[in-house]
A and B are shown apart, each in its own frame.
Chain A
Amino acid sequence: DVKVTQSSRYLVKRTGEKVFLECVQDMDHENMFWYRQDPGLGLRLIYFSYDVKMKEKGDIPEGYSVSREKKERFSLILESASTNQTSMYLCASSLAGQGDEKLFFGSGTQLSVL
């Protein structure tokens, strides 16, 4: 089975800190994604990547950046964490295909910014 592993299940940070959320997948998938999930707003796409060193903005990229130096790892960076970035962060990966590829998600990181 595909495994998508997020480095932390729960994380507490202070306002202004630089925060790294790490995601690793073990199935050689080309595509990787970062979503955040908030009550009443559903899942929203932050950034995604189709290949190493490539990145694309999603629907809500402001305040975030990403890094994909290796195929299996996709990092989400909060340059200066703010309280409105308190959320559940979900990483996902998929195999590149003809459009019918399916996403595999990690278990999520619940980030609290105080």
Chain B
Amino acid sequence: DAKTTQPPSMDCAEGRAANLPCNHSTISGNEYVYWYRQIHSQGPQYIIHGLKNNETNEMASLIITEDRKSSTLILPHATLRDTAVYYCIVKETSGSRLTFGEGTQLTVNP
């Protein structure tokens, strides 16, 4: 599976949009981009995933560049409860293994 690169930490003001970047320059055509987050002392929680097109759900939006070498997770109106480690992962369509990196520690400040 392709490797991802994320900044180790980011800050965001409460109520503002949080834009979390992820580079996956070696992604192949059959690999999905997944985002999970982990709030302290809890298990990771699925946020969103996509293959080529941009995706939106009740939690976030996922923007994937046309060449698919990078993506951005957008939390449109960050709250204090969004403080967590955010993981960007790419995974092949076959097989169910997800490999987690170190992620980005997002801190939402009041």
Chain A interface (Cβ within 8 Å of chain B)? 4, 31, 33, 35, 40, 42-45, 48, 50, 58-59, 90, 92, 94, 96, 98-108
Contacts and interface: CB of A to CB of B under 8 A. Distances in A.
B98 interface: yes
Contacts of B101: 42
Nearest to B44: A105
Contacts of B98: 45, 103
B-side interface mostly:
loop
B81 interface: no
Interface of B: 30, 32, 34, 36, 41-46, 49, 51, 91-103
Max chain B C-beta neighbours (<10 A), residue from A42, A94, A103, A105 = A103
Max chain A C-beta neighbours (<10 A), residue from B44, B46, B93, B96 = B96
B30 A99 contact: yes
B51 A103 contact: no
B45 A105 contact: yes
Contact of A42 (B32, B42, B43, B102): B102
A48 B100 contact: no
Given A31-B96, A92-B43, A99-B96, 14 more contacts: A4-B43, A42-B101, A42-B102, A45-B98, A48-B96, A96-B96, A98-B93, A99-B30, A102-B34, A102-B46, A105-B45, A107-B42, A108-B41, A108-B43
